A and B are shown apart, each in its own frame.
Chain A
């Protein structure tokens, strides 16, 4: 490749007229501007670049045309890269440091520039040390200091002499468990000379593990885990604990006959009574702890979170191949932070492969639990999953149907044999596939109407929603497909869409929602941010189960009564939003009784909002007030604009930047759902869409209740004999 000559030109400050210029012969070394490793960024008037073999440093002093070459080799070891560290700011001496990095060791030379004679000379050398290190230059009151940070120590030298001014041993490791330890990648330093011989040095060092730490006089003061800013996938994980009653025991009891099950239960209780006798000495302590939790009104105390089932961890995978677990009950603190390569998973995870995090987990699960046990950390493991990727869904045990995105089409397979292919409209490309959660509980099979009728929901856990868009014509099409048979249940097309803006979609129980930005050229159509919701029902008539009635079996691929019979009846509605949605999710609870909230992240106001489902009801009456039946159902009149009430915002005062995805999980309580979002910022919370109906509020006065009960009991025992005596006396005296 042809080399480049470096051309230096000077311009007059006041007028901009060009002064003299000259070229340097750098053809053999420099191929692009990035190869120039230093160009007079502070008061040091040089241009420097490295030779192609990285063995020599070539320096040109501005104003002269000569190029000096300095050898960077030491002990005949070939360097990998050369970097120059020079102090920022003005007024310092023109001294700089050449940091040479070799495959397994590093060293540095300190060089002085003599502006009068236009020469560069080596002042002294810093010793070669194994491993990697970082150097940084700083300037205080005209003196230049260089700080060297390695994994073991921090040393400070002055630019004038090779004597070490200060040396500190590194205390406090950056809290990751990498083998080998993370190495310092780059650093910036501030030096404060406290007296003639003692200095205070603080450096902000960035480590190869993605942590940014401040080291003051060798000691670690704080660190920020910046790998979390590039999270590409996250999953909720359950704490692995000892089950209270062994699953096996309960199963034996349920399958045996009545007498043997009863005897089994009696013997088990006798054994547990024995175990309880051993726990007697601990009773006072347990009673005290119980009393404390009873009296404490804090909802987020440790024992309460355990009882309520809020104790779940979030396991995240980041772009720099790290696996990090966060604890939502401890303000998102990091539980552990591992490098994926340490577990022997060789393939680098990138954003596309981690779309199905399950495959990553099945590979890691084996090594992960052992490693966690050996390191004695909290054993969070992801929930048990089928040994299949998220693209696969298994129906009944005999069938295994799966689908995958192949090029621009969606293809379905059954038992590995391709069965169906879905092609979007011509010119459209499939951009997104949304699917409902695999085990999403649905509390009711129908929607109760005001006249006591029921509109039966179309519940099919195998549907997937395919979004396809055409960039040229600005069109978006959405299709709801059965993943087993490939039949299309619902399609919608939209014209005049800005395809370059985010289009998000979500599917849950019997409804789907998607949002996009509408920018039509026709002025009669509405422009803005649209949210469309579609609900699926078995039939449009209430109390009607559709053509299938209550058939015992249903096969998606079997012969159908008619082509129309299997299709659900769809009601859809469009709403306008004041802002654009970048990611959507639905809140989840253990039994599905709590009404769901559609969580949406708003990119422009850096917020996450929870829109309640009753606002997004497509059966809301349009153009007229609701009838008495509709009021009973809870329908309000249709308004095209959804006003986002400030009370719906989950993030109150926090500004959550760059949300890419929101993940929700059920907790132990039916009323509460756990939320976690990632992107640039990490944000998590607990939401109670139907008010926390199963948790006592913090203002509930338990002490008063207890005292009242005790008082009444005492009252009953005191007053009862009096009353009986009075009644007996009355009977005696009346006769």
Chain B
């Protein structure tokens, strides 16, 4: 009897998954981020013209995400690396409208703030991106869309990149430079 049932069951080899009307009732998926890191968590406006803001975070598991503050659901999520350490990863809101920057080890990426798509990415081989800052607003209030990057490693230095395309404008190499960069507008 068992053998008969077995052969019968073996004949029903059609291994369907689930039907469309059963989806999300029979199964469940909890998309998670990991613990949010304090310095990488903030409210930010994805579109400069609207007042609505999203909650952005880069968690200790290197997951960059945008959360809708109304109900806690994930708007977009990017897993930057499955094994990057939390100390070197940073999420930085940029003064360039609708963008965010992430630094993970030797990689600087620019992301679109509203839908999480990558705009450009620059790798600094053999180096660690330690800090990123932006050009301040000039007297007329127009932001110049440039990014200053402090890199430590094989070629330590400060790089100035074009914020919209990632092209290098100039680089200063100084092996004594480590860790933090300070940008100050001189009047």
Interface residues of A, Cβ cutoff 8 Å to B: 7-11, 13, 15-19, 33, 36, 39-40, 45, 47, 62-63, 88-90, 138, 185-186, 188-190, 202, 204, 206, 210, 212, 214, 221-224, 226, 228-230, 299-300, 328, 331-332, 443-444, 448, 593-595, 597, 610, 612, 614, 634, 647-658, 680-691, 693, 698
Are B27 and A685 in touch, CB under 8 angstroms?
yes
Are B18 and A652 in touch, CB under 8 angstroms?
yes
Of B18, B32, B33, B95, the most chain A CB neighbours within 10 A belong to B32
Are B18 and A47 in touch, CB under 8 angstroms?
no
Which residues of B sit under 8 angstroms from A17, Cβ to Cβ?
172
**Number of residue pairs across A and B with beta carbons under 8 Å?**
203
Q: Given that A647-B16, A656-B29, A681-B30 are contacting pairs, would A593 and B6 also be in contact in the complex, using a CB cutoff of 8 Å?
A: yes
Instruction: List 4 A-B pairs, minimum CB-CB distance, nearest first.
Output: A685-B27, A222-B72, A186-B38, A332-B28
A438 to nearest B CB, angstroms? Answer: 22
B161 to nearest A CB, angstroms? Answer: 12
Which residues of A sit under 8 angstroms from B33, Cβ to Cβ?
224, 226, 229
Which residues of B sit under 8 angstroms from A299, Cβ to Cβ?
22, 26
Interface presence of B102 (CB below 8 A): no
Which residues of B sit under 8 angstroms from A657, Cβ to Cβ?
31, 63, 77, 79
Are B15 and A682 in touch, CB under 8 angstroms?
no
Are A651 and B29 in touch, CB under 8 angstroms?
yes
Interface presence of B154 (CB below 8 A): no
Which residues of B sit under 8 angstroms from A686, Cβ to Cβ?
18, 26-27
Interface presence of B104 (CB below 8 A): no
Are A593 and B2 in touch, CB under 8 angstroms?
yes
Are B61 and A229 in touch, CB under 8 angstroms?
yes
CA of A299 to CA of B30 in the docked complex: distance in angstroms? 22
Nearest opposing residue in chain A for B134, CB measure: A90
Are A328 and B28 in touch, CB under 8 angstroms?
yes
Are A690 and B180 in touch, CB under 8 angstroms?
no
Are A683 and B182 in touch, CB under 8 angstroms?
no
Are A691 and B12 in touch, CB under 8 angstroms?
yes
Are A610 and B72 in touch, CB under 8 angstroms?
no
Are B36 and A680 in touch, CB under 8 angstroms?
no
Which residues of B sit under 8 angstroms from A39, Cβ to Cβ?
180, 182
Are B17 and A593 in touch, CB under 8 angstroms?
no
Are A680 and B63 in touch, CB under 8 angstroms?
yes
Q: List 30 A-B contacts (CB under 8 A).
A: A7-B176, A16-B170, A16-B171, A18-B172, A18-B174, A33-B179, A39-B182, A40-B183, A204-B41, A206-B35, A212-B36, A226-B59, A229-B35, A229-B59, A332-B28, A448-B3, A448-B6, A593-B2, A594-B9, A595-B9, A650-B18, A652-B18, A652-B27, A654-B27, A656-B29, A681-B29, A683-B27, A684-B27, A690-B9, A690-B10
Are B182 and A40 in touch, CB under 8 angstroms?
yes
Q: Which of A90, A331, A614 is close to B13, meaning CB atoms less than 8 Å apart?
A: A614
CA of A657 to CA of B34 in the docked complex: distance in angstroms? 12
Which residues of A sit under 8 angstroms from B171, Cβ to Cβ?
16
Interface presence of B69 (CB below 8 A): yes
Are B27 and A444 in touch, CB under 8 angstroms?
no
Which residues of B sit under 8 angstroms from A658, Cβ to Cβ?
61, 79, 82
A214-B72, A332-B28, A443-B2 known, 14 other contacts, Cβ within 8 Å: A11-B172, A33-B180, A63-B184, A185-B38, A190-B43, A229-B35, A230-B34, A331-B24, A448-B6, A651-B29, A681-B30, A685-B27, A691-B12, A698-B21
CA of A210 to CA of B27 in the docked complex: distance in angstroms? 25
CA of A57 to CA of B77 in the docked complex: distance in angstroms? 38
Are B17 and A649 in touch, CB under 8 angstroms?
yes
Are A45 and B23 in touch, CB under 8 angstroms?
no
Which residues of A sit under 8 angstroms from B184, Cβ to Cβ?
10, 40, 45, 62-63
CA of A18 to CA of B158 in the docked complex: distance in angstroms? 11
A154 to nearest B CB, angstroms? Answer: 16
Q: Given that A186-B38, A332-B30 are contacting pairs, would A36 and B71 also be in contact in the complex, using a CB cutoff of 8 Å?
A: no
Which residues of B sit under 8 angstroms from A612, Cβ to Cβ?
13, 15
Interface of B is mostly: loop
Which residues of B sit under 8 angstroms from A689, Cβ to Cβ?
15
CA of A597 to CA of B29 in the docked complex: distance in angstroms? 21
Of B170, B176, B182, the most chain A CB neighbours within 10 A belong to B182
Query: Interface digits, B118-137 against A, CB 8 Å rule (1 contact, 0 not)?
Result: 00000000000000000111
A362 to nearest B CB, angstroms? Answer: 28
Q: Given that A206-B38, A634-B13 are contacting pairs, would A90 and B31 also be in contact in the complex, using a CB cutoff of 8 Å?
A: no
A579 to nearest B CB, angstroms? Answer: 15
Which residues of A sit under 8 angstroms from B160, Cβ to Cβ?
13, 16
Within 8 A of A (CB), among B44-81: 53, 55, 59, 61, 63, 67, 69-72, 77, 79
Within 8 A of A (CB), among B144-186: 158, 160, 170-172, 174, 176-180, 182-184, 186
CA of A46 to CA of B25 in the docked complex: distance in angstroms? 54
Q: Given that A16-B172, A691-B16 are contacting pairs, would A444 and B30 also be in contact in the complex, using a CB cutoff of 8 Å?
A: no
Are A597 and B93 in touch, CB under 8 angstroms?
no
Q: Which of B5, B136, B172 is close to A593, meaning CB atoms less than 8 Å apart?
A: B5
Within 8 A of A (CB), among B77-123: 77, 79, 82, 93, 95
A59 to nearest B CB, angstroms? Answer: 14
Which residues of B sit under 8 angstroms from A332, Cβ to Cβ?
28-30
Are A647 and B28 in touch, CB under 8 angstroms?
no
Are B182 and A680 in touch, CB under 8 angstroms?
no
Nearest opposing residue in chain A for B5, CB measure: A593
Which residues of B sit under 8 angstroms from A224, Cβ to Cβ?
32-33, 67, 72
CA of A224 to CA of B72 in the docked complex: distance in angstroms? 7
Are B135 and A13 in touch, CB under 8 angstroms?
yes
Nearest opposing residue in chain B for A189, CB measure: B43
Are B69 and A652 in touch, CB under 8 angstroms?
no
Are A47 and B182 in touch, CB under 8 angstroms?
yes
Are B12 and A647 in touch, CB under 8 angstroms?
no
Which residues of A sit under 8 angstroms from B12, Cβ to Cβ?
690-691, 693
Of A7, A88, A649, A680, the most chain B CB neighbours within 10 A belong to A680
A321 to nearest B CB, angstroms? Answer: 14
A147 to nearest B CB, angstroms? Answer: 12
Q: Which of A40, A88, A186, A681 is close to B31, meaning CB atoms less than 8 Å apart?
A: A681
Are B34 and A680 in touch, CB under 8 angstroms?
yes
Which residues of B sit under 8 angstroms from A595, Cβ to Cβ?
9-10, 13
A103 to nearest B CB, angstroms? Answer: 20
Which residues of A sit under 8 angstroms from B176, Cβ to Cβ?
7
CA of A477 to CA of B16 in the docked complex: distance in angstroms? 35
A657 to nearest B CB, angstroms? Answer: 5
Are A190 and B53 in touch, CB under 8 angstroms?
yes
CA of A40 to CA of B29 in the docked complex: distance in angstroms? 41
Nearest opposing residue in chain A for B55, CB measure: A204
Are A685 and B18 in touch, CB under 8 angstroms?
yes
Which residues of B sit under 8 angstroms from A40, Cβ to Cβ?
182-184
A646 to nearest B CB, angstroms? Answer: 9
B60 to nearest A CB, angstroms? Answer: 9
Are A691 and B14 in touch, CB under 8 angstroms?
yes
